[in-house]
Amino acid sequence: MQNNVGVLCKLAVHNKKIIMTVRQSSDMAKFKQCLKEAKHIVVLSGAGISAESGIPTFRGAGGYWRKYEASSLATPGAFKNSPSLVWEFYHYRREVAAKAQPNAGHIAIANYELRNCKDKTVTVITQNVDGLHARAGTQNLIELHGNLYKTRCTKCKEVLINNDSPICEALANRGAPDSKIVGSDIPVKSLPHCKKCDGLLRPHIVWFGESLEPTVLQKAGEVMEDCDVCLVVGTSSVVYPAAMFAPQAAARGAVVAEFNIEPTPATTSFHYYFQGPCGSTLPEALSD
């Protein structure tokens, strides 16, 4: 395929390492020709596409909920020390995501998959946990970091979908991001519990300090290895292991295009870079 559309990168051997030198292109017509000829396409999405639907990214300078750095609450230790505080945080996230709507970027991806399902495989690998890709209609979806609307029992480990709002009565009208509120006084017995074994439930989210589920990681690795075109959409490319997926695909010869508001540390590893909101660039890139 690459001989037909023109290879934009050269591989050079230096100190026994393969180094990719890339001239990024913003030629949409050439990229669409790559898509047309591709048989296996992966969309790797991150917080940026969800941010366009009003979902807080909780990264960078604004990544706070109340007085807490959000990443400090997304840990097993935080849940052990204060499960009620962590549940208030995730209840807030569930409520925000439930009110959000898939944007034009989500919809463009889902529609592209639907139109091409007979002669291409289109897989979305997302780092997002808000469920917006599924709500937009994406069928072939790998959620690397879990889902806000799934729970996991800390005792029997059962994972279930839960769309209740609120997830339990004790969390009703709780979780507001008010910086004056410190801690949480909800008794543990009033938090979500397993209906089968009465164990305490936790969000089915991969927290900092935890590994991705092996089966999920394996599936993602397999589709990345098979893809001949990869779209990197709204991700900062700094969270591992997802950050290595697209650069590795580019290094082995797959065509990789990045769609982001601004360049990322991985941009120079890719063949194409399209700057702007995903809701604007993706509909054009994925149109017939």
Whether 175 has a binding-site annotation, put simply, is no
Question: Do 124 and 138 touch, CB atoms closer than 8 A?
Answer: yes
Neighbours of 193 (CB within 10 A): 18
Domain boundaries, the chain: 1-55+102-145+212-288, 56-99+146-205
Looking at residue 243, its pLDDT comes to 85
Query: How many angstroms separate the CA atoms of 120 and 116, rounded?
Result: 6
Could you say which residues of the chain have pLDDT below 70? Answer: 1-23, 59-62
Looking at residue 259, its pLDDT comes to 97
pTM of the model: 0.89
Catalytic residue flag (residue 204): no
Looking at residue 61, its pLDDT comes to 52
Looking at residue 59, its pLDDT comes to 66
Whether 128 has a binding-site annotation, put simply, is yes
Please name the helix (run of DSSP H) or strand (run of DSSP E) that holds residue 67, with its range, or none: none
CATH of 56-99+146-205, one of 3.30.1600.10, 3.10.105.10, 1.10.3720.10, 3.30.1050.10: 3.30.1600.10
Whether 57 has a binding-site annotation, put simply, is yes
Task: Please name the residues in contact with 266: beta carbons below 8 A apart, sequence gap of 6 or more.
Answer: 232, 237, 243, 246, 247, 258
**Domain with residues 1-55+102-145+212-288, CATH architecture:** 3-Layer(aba) Sandwich (3.40)
φ, ψ (nearest 5 deg) of residue 51: -60, -30
Looking at residue 23, its pLDDT comes to 52
Looking at residue 240, its pLDDT comes to 81
Looking at residue 80, its pLDDT comes to 98
Active-site entry in 133, 145, 193, 204: 145
| Secondary structure of residue 188 in the 3-state scheme | helix
Whether 179 has a binding-site annotation, put simply, is no
Looking at residue 161, its pLDDT comes to 98
Whether 140 has a binding-site annotation, put simply, is no
Q: 220-250 burial string, b = 16+ CB within 10 Å, else e?
A: beebbeebbbbbbbbbbbeeeebbebbbbbb
Question: Do 270 and 246 touch, CB atoms closer than 8 A?
Answer: yes
Structure tokens, 36: 């047309």
Q: What is the pLDDT of residues 6-60, one digit of tens each?
A: 333 333 223 223 333 345 789 999 999 999 999 999 999 999 999 999 998 876 5
